Structure 1
């Protein structure tokens, strides 16, 4: 796994504005103590996973309590995540192992959109960057697993970028060298630039994809947050609930706020994930992205 600084991740997000959805109109964020203070005003709560429920290790105790209380109230919930290393049912199982009462069907991720996006690429020689490529090859046997060996890229004319959890510096070097040798279109299942992981920020597929796109090396199709199609899955799953009665709970302005508010939801941003240690108000202003509510924790 490769790591970057907060400032590196933030600058890539700022520089990528033209490739991201249009920012929603500013709102004055209201500071609250947590979810319980505002949840009565909504009929569905949509959670992010990394940075809200955990950061790669055990569950946040406050989040366990908040989600259990929500479940006890009978109010519906779901998780919209850019964790695409595994299929949604496996993401649900990992959350259950951390103590969360989450059902398989309550997980919505960019990986769920892959079949319809890949369909027009039938007949192409497509490479896949993933720590578990065998999971995808069970469904798409023609996908070519790509490594840091340039020979694996031979003849590949398009890419599916799932995750880079297994990457070392040599993988990054091969990725850029091969795209400079032959630019290729790319599907990115995880648009995150950086993700809080323990005390550090992991470099995610969005980081490398945006840098490559800035060089003119690729045309990118992003599948997860903050892009609308993944939120349309939420709207389709809960057709009886209007978007403005949905509350997105996240930790990242450029994914959770931009995506949730862009889909018509209100947003509660937690300050203990991606923005941990940052002046959140200053970062909102710098990005031009504002949540409806801000809280120190869930």
Structure 2
């Protein structure tokens, strides 16, 4: 059972770095959540480096530009994205090949930088690249025919964002690439998951700010299957932010304190164990 806390101050003396998720923790796509800027400033003032680790399925320089647009360009020390991991994997294993793109219009930010050629259909593809759901097909079941055709050819699926859902600024939910990857797994398909919960992405982020001992790292995120699962596997301390994707499971509005019983049930269902629970990012 995670220990409820009101802010990150109690952890500051026990760790050397903080690894923070972005969506659902720092912002909802448009602006920092209330109290976030002050919390980041307090962490830096306490001498604690901040690494952002996000399952955003674009390369890091695109996320950095987005952070600058929200006034957060100087608020962190390192940034790692699942999109960067996706780019590296495709460049190493599939360079010169053909990929079938699945995703929204902005997925071209990743596609345009790949050393591969986009395929016109499943029959031409060497690999299925799922960045997200496109604007015309917002529900996962709308992709079943495509996934079944890919499975018939035993194509590997690269999941550029293992998140299943995301919470946007107004508190509404949208499906992510992980929801399609789950459906492909259910068909018996092969999936390569890029980003969290892979413990390697946490180790990479911590190493970028000079910390190599997982026990001296605090991971702060809103997703039990991604942030907390990855922190557990990595060996770091972990803080679950309840305002994010699990708010509706907990029966709360973003920023409200979750009931102890609801939090215990949620953690029990998922099987991943945060050390602490915090309503919203705060110092």
Q: TM-score of the superposition, structure 2-length normalised? A: 0.83
The aligned counterpart of 2:253 is none
Contiguous gaps of at least 5 residues in structure 2: 251-261
**C-alpha separation in 2, matches of 1:120 and 1:81:** 23
**For 1:142, which of 116, 119, 129 is the aligned residue?**
116
The answer on whether the counterparts of 2:161 and 2:193 sit within 8 Å (CA) in structure 1 is yes
The answer on whether the counterparts of 2:240 and 2:276 sit within 8 Å (CA) in structure 1 is yes
**For 1:126, which of 75, 99, 110 is the aligned residue?**
99
The aligned counterpart of 2:126 is 157
- Whether 2:229 is the aligned partner of 1:255: answer no
* Matched residues, number: 264
The aligned counterpart of 2:70 is 98
The answer on whether the counterparts of 1:36 and 1:66 sit within 8 Å (CA) in structure 2 is no
| Coordinate RMSD, CA, aligned | 2.4
The aligned counterpart of 1:287 is 270
Return closer, same or farther for 1:133/1:143 CA change in 2, 3 Å cut-off: farther
- Whether 2:96 is the aligned partner of 1:108: answer no
Moved more, 232-241 or 37-46: 232-241
The answer on whether the counterparts of 1:225 and 1:256 sit within 8 Å (CA) in structure 2 is yes
**C-alpha separation in 2, matches of 1:48 and 1:36:** 18
Match of 1:232, SS state, is helix
**For 1:59, which of 15, 32, 35 is the aligned residue?**
32
Return closer, same or farther for 1:64/1:105 CA change in 2, 3 Å cut-off: closer
The aligned counterpart of 1:75 is 48
The aligned counterpart of 1:25 is none
**Cα offset, 1:252, TM superposition:** 1.0
Contiguous gaps of at least 5 residues in structure 1: 1-27, 146-150
The answer on whether the counterparts of 2:196 and 2:226 sit within 8 Å (CA) in structure 1 is yes
Deviations 1:85-132 (A, max 9, x none): x32122122123223244686210122223442222245322223434
Moved more, 257-266 or 271-280: 271-280
Q: TM-score of the superposition, structure 1-length normalised? A: 0.80
**C-alpha separation in 2, matches of 1:39 and 1:246:** 10
The answer on whether the counterparts of 2:99 and 2:129 sit within 8 Å (CA) in structure 1 is yes
- Whether 2:3 is the aligned partner of 1:30: answer yes
